[in-house]
Amino acid sequence: MAQITAALVKELRETSGAGMMDCKKALNETDGDLQAAQDWLRQKGLAKAAKKADRIAAEGLVAVASGDNTAAVLEVNSETDFVAKNEQFQTYVKDAASVALGVANFDELKAAAYPGSEKNCEETLTELVGTIGENMNLRRMDKLSVSNGVVASYMHNAAGEGLGKIGVLVALESEGDKDQLNALGKQIAMHVAATNPLALDRDGVDASDIERERTILIEQAKEAGKPEEIAIKMVEGRMRKFYEENCLIEQSFVIDPDNSVGKAVENLAKELGSDIKLAAFLRYELGAGIEKKEEDFAAEVAAAAGS
């Protein structure tokens, strides 16, 4: 019986794209013969992932999962929207989101045991690639928690319970009634899904975004030929508007446009007789930031026809 070294397992994993445990099993089954192990993985449909890994996966699903005073949001990508409707894929995404509740970060999620399996979450998805036949990947994951209060969630374009294309979490810290907190939290989460704020408040806006906006406004004032002191006042006024449009707390509340989101929180705090802090939010939009390949359908057909 050949000795199955860690280096041999690593080499097979790199060449096949299969999970570590599958590579180890393949080598044991083939007495350490690397080529035979690759063939074994192909026969089991576990080596398909390597051939698909360079294909762009910008579709898929966002999932939210909630626990006691905590919630997680997760994105898992696939190549096509068709796969996002696949029952096996949806089950995987739901299960991975439930695992996310019990881990601290994304790296821990990938390495965590997948429910009902000896494999971890990343290896299980690699195996699913071989089964379904599309490139898929665990893209990102985050959590919000509160010591007192609620983490409310909302899913836009839902494809199933806790699954969809835009997932939002909103953390409200308070000792007030949880049902009412959750109701407001969900409304704010719906607002976030619609408006996509840059930050919670002014302190959270990236310095580069502020500088870029100021530069644009200053150039506009110069182009208008305004005196310097007038230009400065114009820029400051327009920066206030920038914050009102992009900071969640200052935005006009979609549910009640006469009030800001921050004012809606204050109003409920008065009603409950308990302080409420809008502590944080997370918004995951499926495929955000992924550069999608532009397909030329006519050229593809021509190529297939040998033109």
Measured between alpha carbons, how far is 69 from 298 in angstroms, rounded to an integer? 52
CATH top-level class for 59-199+276-285?
alpha beta
* pLDDT values of the chain reduced to their tens digit, one per residue, 307 residues: 678 888 888 888 777 767 777 888 889 888 888 888 887 776 666 655 555 555 666 799 999 999 989 999 999 999 888 989 999 999 999 999 999 999 999 999 999 999 999 999 999 998 898 888 888 999 999 999 999 999 999 999 898 899 999 999 999 999 999 999 999 999 999 999 999 999 999 999 999 888 888 888 878 877 778 777 777 788 888 899 999 999 999 999 999 999 999 999 999 999 999 999 999 999 999 998 887 655 554 554 555 455 4
| Spatial CB neighbours of 240, under 8 Å, sequence gap ≥ 6 | none
pLDDT at position 99 is 98
Measured between alpha carbons, how far is 286 from 305 in angstroms, rounded to an integer? 34
| Spatial CB neighbours of 111, under 8 Å, sequence gap ≥ 6 | 120, 121, 122
Which of these CATH numbers, 3.40.50.1380, 2.60.40.10, 1.10.8.10, 1.10.1200.10, describes 6-47?
1.10.8.10
Residue ranges, comma separated, of all CATH 1.10.8.10 domains in the chain are 6-47
Residue ranges, comma separated, of all CATH 3.30.479.20 domains in the chain are 59-199+276-285
Whether 199 contacts 246, CB under 8 Å: yes
Task: Convert 180-196 to b/e letters by CB count within 10 Å (16 or more is b).
Answer: bbbebbbbbbbbbbebe
Q: CA nearest 277: which of 175, 180, 186?
A: 175
